[in-house]
Amino acid sequence: MQRVLAVRLLAVAAVLLGVIYLSGCGGGNNANTKVATVVITPTTLSLNEGAVGTLSAVAENSGGAGIAADITFTSSNPSIATVSSGGLVCAGVWDANIINCTPTLGSGGVGQVTITASSGGVSATATVYVHLQVDQVVAVPPSSCVTMGQSVTISGLAYNTTAPGCSPAAPCDITSSVGPFTFGSNDFTVAATSSGIQSTYNSNDNTPTYVSGGTITGSKGQTCDLSTFNTVIGATATVALTGTNTIASGTQLTITSPGFGATIAPTTATLSNGTATCSGTATVQTDITPGVLTAQGPGMTTVYASVSGVNGVGVGYETCRVVSIMVHDANSSNTSFTLNPQGTQGLLADVMDSAGQAISPTLTWGSSSPAAATVPTFGSGVRTATVTAVTGGTAYITASCSFPDCNIRVPAQYGLNVATVAVTQPSATTVYAAGTNSLSLVPISTSSNTAGTAITLPFAPNSIIADPNGVYVYLGSSSGLMRVTVSSGAVITYAVDGTVLAITPNGQYVLVSDSTGNNISYLNVTTATLAGTTANSASSSAYTPDSMFNEWVSTTKLGFGLPTGFISSVMLPYTANALDISAQGGLTFLTGASTMGNEVDVRLTCDQSEDQALSASNPTLLKALPNGSGAVAADSPNIDVVSTPATLSPGCMPMTTVPTLTPYDLGAGAFTAQQLLVSADSTRAWIVSDLPQLLSFNVPMLTPSSVALAGGTTAFNGGITADGSRVYVGTNDGTVHEIDTASMTDAAQIAVGLKDGNGNPVPPNLVTVIP
């Protein structure tokens, strides 16, 4: 039995307020007061025996306006459920004062009852399901994944554990008596209760469309944003203005975001856009099935079922993950392009999910050299992107589906291939020279090969790296990270100590390793905030081409995480020397040595599992080839060429074509590699070593060569110009040498005049080239 005096009083108050409101709305001698429709909500109730629920009913006239009218409620089976004059439903029998609800216990009190709300000869009905107490609810998701955009076939089970003959160990299935379940998701980006705005135009029912019309201050050809949908999370759309001061009713919408989690169709929107000022009410027709989950973006989440006020425990569900991404020309299968600066090229990604269906998820695009050619991170659409040429050089464009935007909580899928963009007309750039014992940073213009005015640094640097966008140069130190703006020479510092090891291709994050403090820092240089730290130190690190994932090695540990911080690590069966990630992003290359031998290890970036261990002599430094065809490793007296398919295997699976390693003698004898460089077009590798020459290897021709350094000096490190025409290295004679790669000569020696605190000359052992 349930006492409901307070509920009853609230219900009476609500009815009185409704009558007052409706009287106001329908007032006046000319008001349309004839009842045309009765609307009852909700249309179903699920009640335990003895429980109380509430139904409300409103009378409407032929125009759809609420009107004041007497409404009566009746029950089709008062022995199972009775209803008060105000719509309070008792799963049993009300007493005379509508205070106590007494259940009809046992099977006689279980069943479906129709409650009818009537007014003026018009009625509406709701179904009430009366049942044993619901103690447990279980959701039953599909046995296989669901392709995004499709309905999720999910069902619910309800159990009683307290009635005679029922127990937690042997629950009784009461599913057939409880009525409809509702379903929910713990991540609307993977599965939602509705798809929000229908994301493609349907000619059968002319949806989605702008229905009500409206007015604007603007002109034909402008666009208004429908940016505020009260019931749709994140849904946005636009409508074109088809005439001056008019938004035509029935205009087709251009969907900019389908939104997530809508339960009813949106009915109003605020219209505004730039120079156009729009007003009016937008009624938007949508494709929504209330109570049914719709697959959204690829990934994993948990879903749950609810009935009679009981939520079930979440169970695993997957919107089919992306397993294949192939990038090509937007209008053909071509993947190689030549552009002049400011020229553009449209690209398209063909995306397949694990169910073999073509889909359009949110992809992340990346350029290997944004200084040569840029691509918006999220392209021009979910599967399209527009590449814009900047200056001479080569860039490789790829796309990926990775957390947190795609393949949520499942392994990332990187592009199976890359698109090559060669940009003509190289421009002059800047070389920067510094020394670990100097507080000066000297810029060198490649147009004249002359040193400029030295920039004073606040700390003595220990490492140097150029921003891929060509805007900054970063220098690590034991007293903090320094950033120098190329255009002005301005220096700012970050309170992050250590050696700068890696920078994201988009230039937003850098990874700094502090061996003294045993600390790895993930720094957001855009916001000047420390995104995360982990207790370790790394010897080598790299980011995926989409800038969304990072890996580093520390002796026998391979660590990985987001640009914002560490996630986990795996132990390696060897001590790692160096690491790099393939141009597609799907492969990780490592060099290492163990008691079992020396090797180049090829692993899958998606889950860090081993694909192939390739035997080598003594591999140390390693670089992935920017064109995605493999990697090269310094392996004195050889260079090892690791060959992988240019198109990788779909899914997080080993390659069907086994990678190979071939050593090539560089013809210079034994050496200790200090730096390994690869040209942006993947045609030539350079090894800076302890020899008085710069070692070179023509990758397509598989032939070695070398350039003798003037004066018999030895080099420390350096960089290559974006077009590959020149290599600059700092040497122990105190100068920076320019190597002409066409003539293979040491073409110039540039004095930079670095000095220590006592005025003694020091060599430029930190050199980088701005792309």
pLDDT tens track for 317-332: 999 999 999 999 999 9
pLDDT above 90 (res 648) = yes
- How many angstroms from the chain centroid is the CA of residue 257? 15
Sheet of strand 2-3, all strands in order from the earlier edge strand to the far edge: 2-3, 100-102, 93-94
Confidence (pLDDT) at 377: 86
**pLDDT tens column, 71-111:** 999 999 999 999 999 999 999 999 999 999 999 887 789 99
Give the whole-angstrom CA distance, residue 500 versus residue 640: 26
The mean of the pLDDT values for the chain is 90
Instruction: Write the CATH number of the domain with boundaries 323-423.
Output: 2.60.40.1080
Q: Which comes out higher in pLDDT, residue 603 or 208?
A: 603
pLDDT band at 274; cut points 50, 70, 90: low
**pLDDT tens column, 557-591:** 999 999 999 999 999 999 999 999 999 999 999 99
Confidence (pLDDT) at 424: 94
Confidence (pLDDT) at 228: 57
pLDDT band at 260; cut points 50, 70, 90: low
pLDDT above 80 (res 281) = no
Is there a shared CATH topology between the 2-131 domain and the 323-423 domain?
yes
Stretch 532-555: mean pLDDT, rounded?
97
pLDDT above 80 (res 275) = no
Q: How far is CA 294 from CA 264, 289, 402, in A?
A: 14, 9, 21
Which of 258, 264, 242 is CA-nearest to residue 208?
Answer: 258
| Contact of 131 with 178, CB cutoff 8 Å | yes
For residue 36 the two structure tokens come to 């045309």
Confidence (pLDDT) at 32: 84
pLDDT above 70 (res 421) = yes
pLDDT band at 196; cut points 50, 70, 90: low
**Range from 14-23, 157-166, 194-203, 240-249 carrying the lowest mean pLDDT:** 14-23
Per DSSP bridges, beta strands 419-423 and 336-339 are parallel
Domain boundaries, the chain: 2-131, 136-193+295-319, 323-423
Confidence (pLDDT) at 116: 98
**pLDDT tens column, 667-676:** 999 999 999 9
Instruction: Write the CATH number of the domain with boundaries 2-131.
Output: 2.60.40.1080
Sign, Cα dihedral of 705, 710, 714, 715: negative
Give the whole-angstrom CA distance, residue 559 versus residue 550: 8
Residue 312 half-sphere exposure toward CB, CA atoms < 13 A: 26
Give the whole-angstrom CA distance, residue 427 versus residue 723: 9
Residue 21's beta-bridge partner residues?
Answer: none
Confidence (pLDDT) at 29: 45
Confidence (pLDDT) at 217: 74
**pLDDT tens column, 338-385:** 999 999 999 999 999 999 999 989 899 999 999 999 999 877 667 899
pLDDT band at 219; cut points 50, 70, 90: confident
Rounded to 5°, angle at Cα 197 from 192 and 202: 120
For residue 19 the two structure tokens come to 């009558």
Confidence (pLDDT) at 289: 54
How many other CB atoms are found less than 10 A from the CB of residue 609? 13
Quote the percentage of the chain above a pLDDT of 70. Answer: 88
Per DSSP bridges, beta strands 44-48 and 122-131 are parallel
For residue 569 the two structure tokens come to 């690590």
Confidence (pLDDT) at 590: 98
**pLDDT tens column, 434-477:** 999 999 999 999 999 999 999 999 999 999 999 999 999 999 99
Name the burial class of residue 589, with classes exposed (0-12), middle (13-18) and buried (19+) by CB atoms within 10 angstroms of its CB.
buried
Confidence (pLDDT) at 609: 96
pLDDT above 50 (res 507) = yes
Confidence (pLDDT) at 395: 96
Instruction: For residue 108, give the DSSP letter.
Output: G
Residue 87 half-sphere exposure toward CB, CA atoms < 13 A: 26
